[in-house]
Structure formats: structure tokens, C-alpha cells
Amino acid sequence: MKYRIEHDSMGEVEVAADRYWGAQTERSRQNFRIGVGREPMPQEIVYAFGILKKAAALANFELCPDRMTEEKCNWICKTCDEITEGKLWEHFPLVVWQTGSGTQSNMNANEVIANRANELAGKRLLHPNDDVNMSQSSNDTFPSAMHIAAVLELRDRVIPAVDGLIQTFLRLEEENADAIKSGRTHLQDATPIRFSQEISGWRSSLEKDKKMLLSSLEELRELALGGTAVGTGLNAPRGFDRLVAEKIAALCGAEFRTAENKFHALTSKDELVFAHGALKALAADLWKIANDVRWLASGPRCGLGEITVPENEPGSSIMPGKVNPTQCEALTMVAVQVMGNDTAVGLAASQGNFELNVFLPVCAYNFLQSARLLADAMNSFREHCASGIRANREKMRQNLNDSLMLVTALNPYVGYENAAKIAKLAYTEHLTLREACLRLGLLTAEQFDAILRPEDMT
């Protein structure tokens, strides 16, 4: 392999000749061989850095054209476009487990942009620190990249996946408005419910989760950029913070604004904690929905069997013909991971000391993994399970007619205690509710038939 010599303030370093990163990236690559190949810095963060560095160059060009010349700005922007187009992913080799401020990933972006832009320009035009990192510090760029990545992931992936599942449940509600089944509380028989009503509970949960996600987006729109090293804005021109936020908003097609208090923005990660709380709420509801689906589909003969789900793959290596609710299992495993990630995000956010939080990469890694997994799992569950849910109406009727809790409708006519006597007699003597009621002489057959109508109980 061919190498070139790069240098930084600590001296010279050999770097592979076909890579655009420089000395500081190479030092990190050599010093942090932790999870290499398994836990790289998320591509969403790399993408956000491409947006951020372009916006910074554009803002610097407007505010300091003597230092950020039009030529320099143009080459930085062209290289940043290559990053956001995914053309330079292989030049971002660093892992999550590095410096807690993300300094080395910020420098990775600076070095790649400078070296690639110099190659495009055909001359040594740009310096990674003086030009690409102009008016910035790792301490305000990495938190800003985290917020950019979080907003875009929620806007472009998570919320559309929630909407897709909501629409599927709306269709299922319409299709099952006339399907009446036994309700269940404490895993025991309860009063009747329409299957469409049960599905509406799933849908409403997701609609509320969406509202919480949208609410969390508002706080994530604040950016630390312009605070530089400790929040004072040292070495950034006046107005840079607001202008760079405007540039980022224009590039992303999403609202972003400068954080009014940069001392908070650099050290506190409460916005990510809040947003991940919304992801955890979504995970909790998806877990509940997936559990409902697999319980209702249990069987096919020895379980509830009130719905069927698509048969996607064989379910056993030894039991022929077995089919399992695998999409439900995948979704619930994702929910477990998200809940674990929530602990990691909360603990990472609690570790701000004085003017900086130094748990940023692990916070970003877990947040983005949660968002990515939830979006993918919802899309998979919708496509391969929820869209194919079918009511087994015969089994629903059978279970409904066998339910002793239909007796609840008799309470206003015979009283709670007499209704309990009917249910207990029916259960112990293997009678229908009608037969038990008539045996106890509490109602006539005509009265019983007029009162106990499941379709009127929903």
C-alpha cells in the first residue's frame, strides 16, 4: 500500500495515499480500535457534517469574504455536496468510541473536505482548521450535527413510517366495523368489543406518538453553532450563529434556528433526551400492538385464533407446517433495544461537566439507532404483517358466545349479585348464560333474548 505524509500540531503521520483524511483522523483510527467495523460513526452524522460545513462556508463567505474567498467557498461546497450524495463515505472511518466531544469526527470532516477540495482545485488552497473549520469548534459542530441528524431522521423516516401504519389501521377499521368479538382485560374474558374499536385503539396510540415526536422536533431545531469552544462565540464573526442556522435550514428544507443560550447548547442534551422519550413511547405502544396481534393470532387451533396474519416463512426446523408471528417478534425486539437505548441516552446526557458534555458520540449513536430501527421495523411490520391481518369471524363469534362476561348486560335488570350467580352457575354446570338465567328464574326467555344482544353492547 502506498502512503503519503500528513502532519498536524503533534508531528507527521503516514496516511494511506488513496484516503482523503489527514493526520488527526489517522491518529484516532490508530488509537481507538474499539468496535472497528461494527460501530462506525453513523452515516447520518457524516451527512449532517456535510450540510453543516457547507452552511458554515456560505455564512463565512458573506461575513468574512476576505478570509473565506469565493474560490474557497465554492470548492468547500462542491466537496460537501459529494459527502451528502454519499460519494465519500469510505473516507469517514472513525468509530463511536472516541473522544467524547466528537472532536476527531469533526476533524475527519475538516480533513476530508480540505484534501478533496484541494484535489479538485488542483492546488493547496484549503487548510482543514483555518478554512473548513472557520468560525467553528468541535464543541459546537458535533452537537449541531446531532440535532440536524435527529431532525432529519425523525422527519424523513420515523414519522412517515408511523403515518404508513396509521393508514393501514384505518383501512382495517373500515373492513372490520361489523366484526364483534370478546373484549379482554387481565387476559380474561370481558364485555364485547368491535374489532374495529380494538384497532382504533392501536391507531390512536400511534397518532398520539406522532404528536409527541412532532413536539420534540421543535426543541431539536436549536443549534449550538456559533458558540465555538465554550459558548462565548470566540473567533466567530458577529451574526454567524443566526446566519449559519438559516443556511442549514435552507439546505435541509427544514426549520433550524440558533440556540439563544450557547452555554446550555454545548453542555446539555435535554432536547435529545426528550425526543428519545417520544421514541420510547412509540416503542412501548408498538410493543403492545405487536403483542395484541400475536395473541389474537395464536393457535391456529389451540390459541385464540381470532385473526390470521400472513405466513411469511416456515416457523420450525422440526415441526412441519408451523408458522410463527415473526414480524411481531422482530418489532418487540426492536422495542427492547430502544428502551435500552433510552437509558444510554439519558445517562450520556447527564454527564455534562462545566461547559461541555463529553458523551456525545454514544448519545448520537443510540438515538439514531433507535430512530432507524423503529422506522425500519414499522415499515416491515406494516408490509409483512399488519396489511395482511384478517379477522376469523367464525372464531370471534364462537369465543364471544362462550364468554360469561356477556352477563354484564343483565346487571341493570337483575342486579350485580344475581348476574354473578348466573355466570358462576353457567361456568360450574357447563350451561349457557341463557340456561343458567332461566334455571334461576331471574328472567323469562323473552326478556333474556331482548336484553342480551352483543351488538348492542359495543
- Catalogue the active-site residues: 186, 316
Q: What is the Cα–Cα distance from 23 to 132, expressed in whole angstroms?
A: 15
3-state SS, residue 15: strand
| Whether the Cβ atoms of residue 439 and residue 425 lie closer than 8 Å to each other | yes
160 prior amide bond cis, ω within 30: no
Q: What is the Cα–Cα distance from 284 to 280, expressed in whole angstroms?
A: 6
3-state SS, residue 442: coil
Q: Which strand (E) or helix (H) includes residue 195?
A: helix 195-220
Task: State phi, psi for 183 to the nearest 5 degrees.
Answer: -75, 165
Question: Could you count the other beta carbons within 10 Å of the beta carbon of residue 315?
Answer: 13
Q: What is the Cα–Cα distance from 272 to 217, expressed in whole angstroms?
A: 9
Based on DSSP, count helices (H) and strands (E) in the chain, helices before strands.
17, 10
- Among all chains, which residue has been given the C-alpha cell 478554512? 131
Strand 3-8 with 188-194, pairing: unpaired
| Whether the Cβ atoms of residue 391 and residue 198 lie closer than 8 Å to each other | no
3-state SS, residue 109: helix
| Whether the Cβ atoms of residue 319 and residue 281 lie closer than 8 Å to each other | no
